């Protein structure tokens, strides 16, 4: 069976133009060194009520899964370049972005609206009531379509996916640090409840949440 490494493009084709949101172009350079980001990176669980900007959200999403070459390679490595990860933005307090659930499309660097309305409280309830999820300006949710990797690597592919999400989340941590933002990793949640909140399609499993905001 052939599995396309970029099935997300079907979502782009099917999405209404009003549900597609072009993101600001990510910058590729800054005056904040990688060494400083590594030194200052910390898990942040308490956030102010200040909003994130679209530019900040764009940079964070690009750091997590952005395309960095003409042949579709991304910021985080993936076994066999099969890219099983999907990335969602649960926005609650982002300038010029309505509250809702959005899916990030690396090819094109854009968002597709999945659901309208502030879903942070529902997401927090699915995450065992963690305040960092409810109070963050936005929450990233990493999911995975395991068959993209396991069709080539078998059960070993599941391990590769778990390694991959660690690569991507560290990218988010370091970019957030460079932007003066806070982030934390949340792995405690009820899978089925989170699937229902995000309306995940069959075969797509939640892996990781990352609340984001201003410390």
What CATH number is given to the structural domain containing 178? 3.40.109.10
CB atoms within 10 A of CB 109: 18
What's the pLDDT score for residue 194?
Answer: 97
Is residue 182 within 8 A of residue 50, CB to CB? The reply is no
As for how many domains the chain has, the answer is 1
Residue span of the structural domain in which 86 resides: 8-22+32-117+143-182+197-205
Q: Tell me if 188 is assigned to some domain.
A: no
Per-residue pLDDT of the chain (215 residues; tens, 9 = 90+): 334 444 444 455 556 666 999 999 999 999 999 999 999 999 999 999 999 999 999 999 999 999 999 999 999 999 999 999 999 999 999 999 999 999 999 999 999 999 999 999 999 999 999 999 999 999 999 999 999 999 999 999 999 999 999 999 999 999 999 999 999 999 999 999 999 999 999 999 999 999 999 99
DSSP assignment string, 112-135: EEEEES--HHHHHHHTTT-HHHHH
Is residue 65 within 8 A of residue 107, CB to CB? The reply is no
Contacts of 90 (CB under 8 A, 6+ apart): 100, 101, 102, 119, 120, 123, 138, 139, 140, 141
């Amino acid at each position: 069976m052939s599995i396309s490494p970029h099935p997300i493009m079907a979502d782009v084709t099917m999405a209404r133009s009003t549900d597609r949101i072009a993101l600001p172009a990510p910058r590729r350079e800054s005056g904040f060194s990688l060494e400083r980001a590594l030194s200052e990176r910390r898990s942040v669980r308490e956030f102010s009520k200040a909003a994130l900007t679209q530019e900040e959200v764009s940079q964070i999403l690009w750091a997590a899964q952005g395309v960095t070459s003409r042949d579709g390679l991304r910021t985080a490595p993936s076994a066999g370049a099969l890219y099983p990860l999907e990335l969602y933005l649960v926005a609650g307090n982002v300038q010029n972005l309505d509250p809702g659930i959005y899916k990030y499309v690396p090819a094109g660097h854009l968002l597709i609206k999945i659901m309208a309305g502030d879903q942070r409280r529902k997401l927090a309830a699915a995450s065992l009531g963690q305040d960092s999820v409810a109070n963050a300006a936005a929450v990233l949710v990493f999911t995975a379509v395991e068959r993209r990797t396991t069709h080539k690597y078998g059960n070993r592919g599941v391990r590769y996916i778990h390694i991959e999400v660690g690569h991507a989340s560290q990218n988010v941590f370091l970019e957030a640090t460079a932007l003066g933002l806070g982030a934390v990793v949340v792995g405690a949640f009820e899978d089925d409840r989170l699937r229902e909140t995000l309306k995940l399609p069959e075969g797509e499993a939640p892996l990781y949440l990352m609340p984001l905001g201003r410390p």
